[in-house]
Structure 1
């Protein structure tokens, strides 16, 4: 993938304008600098000349609560994290924790769970965290970093749709909650192909000129094909899932995030860490891999509880459940769970 100097500057300028970045701000991050969200978020801070505080990623992984206390002590105003990090911070002690300086809290790089957003805001309101600081957005490396952000100072919005209709590409009111990801940032355009639910496509100064090798990710009229599915409501982007990750079993489409949300809510699944994917061997079914710290003697009961919840909530019976030890699910450098690598983990298991 090619990212030019102009792409990077355009991205930094759009972020600066979107969040009114100024001299009173300070950026803080534990994300690795070889990942787009860590690198370009940090560069934006450097380009504007504000204070930038960086931690080694292991500082967060080893002790999320200690990192949050150190972050609060810096009085930083801006940081960026994937959704799983907000869940990991929920056990942080509140004593002497002052988060009142935190005005922009970017949440991105993976599916944003409404329950994570709500729980984090509720947990830390007593420490001065404001709900409107939570800033869920959409982006990708091919757009340098960010494509959409909500209006500055607005608390996250949630739309409720029918999950089965959504899997068919239809928008019908229902019980599945999806977090709004805002509108196109300055210099970026967003459209949905073949809507109302369809591929998210981008165009703008921060978008890559293409890949060094292989097929190019553009439409005939020059829009970047993201491979992501979503919809627009009054200009607000909502993310449905990755097209290539859609699970189809017995002719029925299911988003893996829907399965994972149900599994994550089962007591015994460690910090909601689980992956759902399609399997064809020995028959067409959905496989769930979940982390747990429970002793082996309780594994059968946990598998039964997971299967029962998924069957009850989603009507899916063609399901197998695999349990693994804490922190064993493969992740990307930004902490996102890797589905293909998880599939290989299943194949290696006895």
Structure 2
């Protein structure tokens, strides 16, 4: 028995249809967003497919593990990636456990990624999805071997256009919700999530320490940002770093956004590597970043230093660095603030 996590979108709906043709499945809709998700669309999809639907309320857990992480990261001058944490803690953590309680051996989703078992290594490996524009392996790099052993990704070998074309052909497409590119728990301006927190204003300084303005709170800024700084300096300036200890936004010219190396902590290795030896990999530092070659060097206390072959732009503490070899995901971890020497790492909450 396979449970198919269904959101109401076309990807998960088509994954359910495809699996139901050869497997015994039921649909599982998780309520995550505190503002009461509406199961009406998943219900219509379930009726169309003729499959049973179970609804699991995980709103409290989502608030404690994902939204809390999001808020605390911003409070420490980081730019978090809640989708990575949600996949590890909620979708392939608690929701997978609920699926098993309901009698499913595995949990399927509409992610564009692939999982294979390597008999020689005796490990499950994570690979990119076939569609390079939709590949979601970046968001899945923190999954454990236990989770990978129980997940199914029916869309991993498909292109998005193939999924949409087939969904239209079978009459499923019009029942699904439009695809969203936003964080699921944010409606409007994400800054509203911090209305109850004290983010004091502070100085905006250049990389050489010159005070050039005032910021309204670190939560309102991220590395690489150009607009909304309120600066008139005769040429474009960008956010280069958030200095949480001094409550400063550090700005510089475009050239100042490039860095040669950075720190990573909380690394989860999917492919077995010797943790004490350096290795080479293609490294992706955000979802839409094109991987770039680098050497990854082990340090003390489980930290790693990534040294680019060529400097890369806007390496952002709080985001995740994922290590690849071709389509294979080696693993990845959280980008740490350099000045704190890794001591400001975000916990999993």
Length-normalised TM-score, structure 1: 0.31
More strand by percentage: 2
Which structure has the larger Rg? Answer: 2
Q: Which has the higher contact order (CA 8 A, sep 6+)?
A: 2
Q: Which one has a larger percent helix, Structure 1 or Structure 2?
A: 1
TM-score (norm 2): 0.32
